[in-house]
Structure 1
Amino acid sequence: MSSKIITPLKYLFQTIFILLVVLSGILPAHAQFIPEAPSEEQEQAEPQVRQDSLGRRSPRGSISGFLTAVADRNYERASRYFNFSGTAVDAENGDELAEMLEELLNQRGQILPYSWISEEASGRTDDNLEPNLEKVGTVTIEGETVDLLMEDVKDTEGEALWLFSSATVESIASVSTVEESAIAVERVLPKFLQDNEWGGVPVGQWLVALFLAAFAYLISWSIVSLIVLLIPKIWRKAQQEPTSGVIKAFALPVELYAAVLLFVYLTRETGMSIILRQRLSGITVIIGFVAFLILLWRLTEFIGTFSKRRMSSRGNISGVSVVLFLKRAAKIAIVIFGIIAILGTFGVDVTTGIAALGIGGLALALGAQKTIENFVGSVTLITDQPIRVGDFCKVGDTLGTVEKVGMRSTRIRTLDRTVVTIPNGEFSSSKIENYAHRDRFWYHPILGLRYETTPDQIRFLLVELRAVLYKHPKVASDSARVRFIKLNSDSIDLEVFSYILASNYDEFLEVQEDLLLRMMDIVNESGTGFAFPSQTLYFAKDHGLSTEKSRSAEEKVRHWKEKGEMPLPKFDPQKIKEIEDTLDYPPEGSCYRKDTGTGKIPGL
């Protein structure tokens, strides 16, 4: 037998086994799924509320008490759940009315699952009904769907007493007979399977319920498998990740949920007993909820695996750690949420447990505050990625290369070759300066000249220094400028501003060195010199500044003035284009200089 056939059969047998186990628990003690009236111990536990012997203090208690009486064929007791006041119905015919309601529920009628019906004395306040009304189900009367309503009529002591409303009683009483053809199951079951009962329900109906459960799952599996098979053929994208993974994640949950819906529909359409359907309603709700939990689990598994694969392909090891942690945390949350919801479906009061979990979680969060802070910081670093392994950066006062970004901390190798470990919580909240992604380097020296420098010499320097920046192939000409900015206490200051086109710090240092040497040559050529931050004493043997060079610089400036070509306060754009990238770089005599004179460094 092929694996494609074995797989659905396996789930089919699992479904039947679960139903058998549940039913085995139901049959000996059906009160597990239909709560009985409160016991004396419960009355003693809550002395502030006077208990009703029939459990009619809440809508859930009243409907479960009514179905228990019907299952016991005690229609006289079942009639005590009707409100006859204000109606023309004779209370003495209450047993016939209870039997009539059972027959109406058997033929396509339904009662809400117990977990959806309020167990509070005040009923539900968010159902858009009057405060004293509660909807518990529906029945079909003469082709029209009628709501089954319960109303709080209050007893003599003013306590809540929930009964089928007078309007519901009149609607039921208006039915003369129930169509026999509506109860399809009774026409096909052998007589001995109808005569023998378990828990107030014929044995044959239990067997039919098992068959319908298996049939519903088989139909659901067939349809979903066919759809999953056809989608990739119709939609090409469904053959690739992540679409294919999402489709696979939805397959099993959709099968279960569709099977539950089909099972509920078939049991209602075939006229199965309302007692049986109501006992199985809790199971169907749980299976539907489990299908949702399986969907969340599968999506979590797929997203985690897909993200882990992407992180690994990019070499982001720390990201893989975060993904695995989040996947485990999500699965734990799904399990806890599922347990609480399922217990609530069975009627277990989980409020205390949730409160305890909340207090415990708060205590844990306070105790592990720093750990959680560091984890959140690591998630921030991985998602924002202000730094990566191998980046040269400055964090606070720490300057160095990032060696590792972990779940708790980040390690940086400093220039002194020491290792600094910074907690990620502190790291993510610090000012981070990353030097690894610069596209250019800022070159901005301040040239301090001697006070003997004449204005024409300054003009000469402004022109020639700018020309060097425009000519140099490693300087961004659109950013280049040289300005006379200040008469300092011991120097005349010229500011050089430009960006060097270098891909790393070593190359920047090479270009900066070349520019500084060329600027020193220009300052020397102008006939002036650099100022010292100290007082200068002149002796008789001091030859002072070069008169010849000073005259040469002044003559050149005079020549610019006469021709109207002085490039101040800025160069003419046409002149910039003429001289741009014309300077030899590397300089003459450098071992990197090519014979062709292109000025390009080998390999760059």
Structure 2
Amino acid sequence: MSPDGASAQAVPDASDYERLLNNPRRATHTFLHWQMKGHRQPELAATTMIADPALDLDQRIERASQLLKVLDARGLIIDLESIPGDRDYTDTLSGMHTYILFPSLPEVFLVKRDTVWVFSKATVDMIPDLYRSTFSIFVDVVVDNLPEYMRNEFGGLSIWQYIALFFWILIGLVLRSITIFLLDKYLLKFTQKTSTKWDNLVVKEADKPISFVIMILFYLITYTNLMLPVTANYFLRTVFEVALLGSLIWLLYGMINVLSEYLASVTAKTESTLDEQLVPLLRKTLKIFIVVIGVLFILQNKGINVTSVLAGLGIGGLAVALAARDTLANFFGSITIFADRPFRIGDWIKIGEMEGVVEEVGFRTTRVRTFYNSLVSVPNARVADSSIDNLGMRQFRRILTRLNLTYSTTPEQMEAFVEGLKAIVQANPYTRKDFFEIHFNDFGSHSLDVLFYVFLKVPSWSDELQQRHNIFLEILKMAKEVGVEFAYPTQTLHVDSFYGDKPRQIGKEIPVEKLGETAASFGPNGGKSTPGGVKLTYNGDEVDFGAKAFRR
């Protein structure tokens, strides 16, 4: 037996990998099962960490242990039945052989590596950072140096965990008391010296909710250091998240009292008594509204379907809704637009088949100037219920195309062509340099396909079209220099030799030693690089029929 209680096992071989890691569910089971008490064989669990070949067995075992502790501490329960058992599983969004275990922790995911499923190299490399962000280094050091008797278990927890749990609860309560003391003794004394009384009311209403928020935040940030079982951590996280949202509702509830006091003082100065009667009604309405919305928000945040609840709430207002359905729908639609701000005046948006620039947002309609210069008034209810594509908020504009080369292209020419494309992207001042995908991507039915996936950072559509034009011209020039030909979807029968005739030469022969020089010449400061596009002249002047030239 090894010191941690695991049986001594030989390093797993290829057949073990195939057996333990043949699909996402099996790989996850291997990761969990062989780290459980009674089944502990960490070298088998470590097979899920082989994506990083630089790690030895001990390091992979440590990474697997750290990742399990992170998942347990964050209350992330793995449901094996929900994980696909297909060895060729493909993610529907990325189209790749990957599986993300938890949407709330997307950096932890499985990938298919050759014939087995393992945690990705990015996940393996990130595990130490996840571990450090989950557990305090101080607590880790203290736990590692505890005497052996402190590790004895009773009721599912170690002795040190019971002691830590007691002091953890105590510290949270002390923090709450200190917060109340500071707010009442110092901040309240300060506000009492001011000329208004409203700041005094704000402090009195806010001291208890704020102190409760401080306490819950402390518990929520530090509970992972207790290293409790995953079910306990899941329960604690749920309770603390609900308590935090509840304390914020409590704070808003108290602020309504301050608002009602202010409104009461204002209405007391008027001659009419109607507004004074409206203040209590407004206070009760706002309190009910805050509580109902807060409860619905908490339920929705915890994954509970609130549709039926909302349907029940809507029965009382059915008569009003039927009498002024369209008007109310447009009014609340305008409120939604102002609150969510999906677009601003001047943004280029697309709503369904309608596309144009926003000119005005009113209480009933939103006015959009189309690109054929007509003015369209769209009801706000339709805007609020529609999917809005805000093209004006794009940070980058995408170029996605596939360049088809003839099958006469040699491997050296293909490599030079792809490197030349990358050099063109690097040379253009408007392309995104930190992310692009340019690869020999497919063997098509009539061509060798190169994926060209690039982003432009330009302010307008006209600039986007101009830079596409410039980049495509550069590609044409570079293709000519490299000696490749673009294919088109035809079927052609070539008779290369007939009765001793010399075979037809396809493409352009370029010496191998010159291909690297050619690709580099299209990079930054390259001799053949013209990222601004080809310049044509007539009678010594540049030929430019663009819109900007006419505005000068």
Q: TM-score, normalised by structure 1?
A: 0.37
Q: Which has the larger radius of gyration?
A: 1
Q: TM-score, normalised by structure 2?
A: 0.40
